[in-house]
Chain A
Amino acid sequence: KAGVTQTPRYLIKTRGQQVTLSCSPISGHRSVSWYQQTPGQGLQFLFEYFSETQRNKGNFPGRFSGRQFSNSRSEMNVSTLELGDSALYLCASSPRGVGSTGELFFGEGSRLTVL
């Protein structure tokens, strides 16, 4: 069974640009949640999508957005990039969602550097 796949693995952008990251969950999983990891703030919840609907959102500005497609693949977008957006972005997949019982499974992450 394939795991959670995130693309791209590494990318470099400049301030003001936008970026789109992709996450393909484990087959049959309907929930994808996103997280930002930085040295200063640690791991923080961004948002969760379940069956194409956003269920919950963390404390991030509107520049951070996401969506989920009918095949459960999810994308997150960050517009007007700032230096502080440099981070490891992780996504997790689960069959019934973050609030349900059961494990979450993480991808390898997308490492974004903003210059």
Chain B
Amino acid sequence: GIQVEQSPPDLILQEGANSTLRCNFSDSVNNLQWFHQNPWGQLINLFYIPSGTKQNGRLSATTVATERYSLLYISSSQTTDSGVYFCAVVFVTDSWGKLQFGAGTQVVVTP
């Protein structure tokens, strides 16, 4: 199956700092999403971004599908940004798709 690697595994930021999270994948993918897992476990959609660049407030994401990576940018971080960020890619096997997650980046934003 496809390999999805996220880096760094852990990130500690001071409030107001900027950061970049990376997601590398080993093969062509149908789509890619970034999620933030809240303290109760729910995966909150951040971006659906199979290619290109998108922005939503202080967050933005870029996927370069030909080079098999995606980046998530957090600017002016706030304590509410703390949590685990996952990228997930869809690849097709046996005519149907499977969602493969990376291991996540644990972000802690300190006041």
Contact = CB atoms under 8 A, between A and B. Distances in A.
Interface of A: 33, 35, 37, 42-45, 48, 55-56, 58, 88, 90, 92, 97-109, 111
B11 interface: no
Contact of A58 (B35, B98, B104): B98
Contact of A99 (B44, B48, B96): B96
Interface in B50-103: 50, 86, 88, 90, 92-101, 103
Interface residues of B, number: 27
Interface of B: 30-31, 33, 35, 40-45, 48, 50, 86, 88, 90, 92-101, 103-104
Contact of A104 (B41, B50, B96, B99): B99
Given A56-B94, A103-B48, A106-B35, A111 B41 contact: yes
